[in-house]
Amino acid sequence: MGKADVIDGKAIAQDIRNEIKEEVAKLKEHKGKESPVPGLAVVLVGARKDSETYVRNKRKNCEEVGYESFQTDLPEEVSQEDLLKVVADYNADERVHGVLVQLPLPKHINEREVLDAVSLDKDVDGFHPHNIGSLALRGRSPKFVSCTPKGVMELLKRTGVKISGKRAAVIGRSNIVGMPVALLLQAEDATVTVIHSRTPEPEAICKEADILVAAIGRAEFVPGSWIKPGAVVIDVGMNDVEDASKKRGYRLVGDVKYAEASETASAITPVPGGVGPMTIAMLLQNTLESAKKSFGCS
Ligand SMILES: Nc1nc2c(c(=O)[nH]1)N[C@@H](CN(C=O)c1ccc(C(=O)N[C@@H](CCC(=O)O)C(=O)O)cc1)CN2
């Protein structure tokens, strides 16, 4: 089959940020000098290095496209009540069009209650049960689609992958990736099979898939021999593997054995540089949609 095309998520995310930047500039022209700009608020609890990096990148990306960003850092031991108060304040703040709480949260926090507390109109992470639930119902559309699943679909669309009528397999059934991706593919008329820890013969299902999305969180779980010749492989996994030769002591690998899979697939996302960068680009897109609605120009 030869080498697969590399789906360059980093470059596609940059294209999207450029498009957003242009839209923000137009919005300013349209609305005049006093125009408000889109605003994104991020709540960070604790001091996890990875979460700090993601939040810093969200701020940097907001700055790049001309958004205002707001951030509240709370200590690891913050109470549920104090965290909910911060969310409520951002919900009520007119300058803010998107509110998100960086995950994961410390164990003592009731994550469900926190996600439910984000205003539906500002739920740019798309994690509110109303938004996730709407994906499953025909004839309904969520106000916002969560960013990683939306990024997967955008990568497929922007690389010209035909979805309708294709067989898709999604490995993983998490609320925030596997399950919504499966629903989004189905909404585009793919025939979707979800593979999880109790699925018999996952290999046979993968071998039939024209589109394979791996979101199971297990380093290099999918060998190249599972890939149907010519399939499109989207690897959502981001797993740390110890590597003393790297500055940070580990390297990132996906859920798919990349080198093997690229011998058989027609196109594949790398890790890093595939789905990951799309997550923040989609967050910016959701925030723009929210701001446009609030400015009355959508
Ligand atoms: N409230 C949220 N929390 C979390 C989300 C989310 O969408 N909303 N997703 C992840 C973290 N995340 C954004 O928040 C995120 C993860 C990864 C990337 C990314 O660009 N990854 C790079 C590699 C980065 C590295 O080298 O470490 C890549 O894949 O190329 C962006 C955003 C969990 N929490």
ipTM computed for the complex: 0.98
Give residue 279 CA to ligand 1 midpoint distance, Å.
Answer: 6
* Predicted pLDDT of residue 2: 66
* Among protein residues, the one whose CA lies closest to atom 23 of ligand 1: 272
Task: Kindly give the distance from the C-alpha atom of residue 204 to the centroid of ligand 1, in angstroms, as a whole number.
Answer: 31
279 in ligand 1 pocket by Cβ < 6 Å? yes
The DSSP annotation for 113-151 comes to: HHHHHS-GGG-TT--SHHHHHHHHSTT---SS--HHHHH
* CB distance 277 to ligand 1 below 6 Å: yes
132 close to ligand 1 (CB < 6 Angstrom): no
Question: What pLDDT does residue 1 have?
Answer: 54
Element (H, E) at 221: none
Q: What is the DSSP letter of 225?
A: G
Q: How many A from CA of 55 to the centre of ligand 1?
A: 9
- HSE, side-chain direction, 13 A CA sphere, residue 170: 25
In Å, what is the CA distance from 126 to each residue of 39, 52, 98, 118, 119? 16, 21, 10, 10, 11
Question: Is 125 near ligand 1, meaning CB less than 6 Å away?
Answer: yes
Identify the pLDDT of residue 152: 98
Task: Tell me which residues are annotated as active site.
Answer: 58, 102, 125
Residues 258, 274 contacting (CB under 8 angstroms) = no
- In order of start, what are the domains of the chain with their CATH numbers? 33-119 (3.40.50.10860), 147-276 (3.40.50.720)
Q: Give the contacts of 23 (CB within 8 A, at least 6 positions apart).
A: 288
* Per-residue pLDDT at 160: 98
Q: Whose CA is nearest to atom 11 of ligand 1?
A: 54
Helix (H, G, I), strand (E, B) or coil at 257: coil
- Is the bond preceding residue 272 a cis peptide, omega within 30 degrees? yes
Rounded distance from Cα 125 to ligand 1 centre (Å): 12
Supply the pLDDT for residue 30.
72
Compute mean pLDDT per 10 residues along the chain, 298 residues long, and list them.
90 98 89 79 97 98 98 98 98 98 98 97 96 93 97 98 98 96 97 97 98 98 98 97 93 97 98 98 98 89
User: What pLDDT, on the 0 to 100 scale, is given for residue 34?
Assistant: 65
In short, whether 168's Cβ falls inside 6 Å of ligand 1 is no
Can you give the pLDDT at residue 32? 60
CA-closest residue to ligand 1 atom 13:
54
> For ligand 1, atom 5, which residue shows the shortest CA distance?
103
Cα(81) to centroid(ligand 1), Å: 26
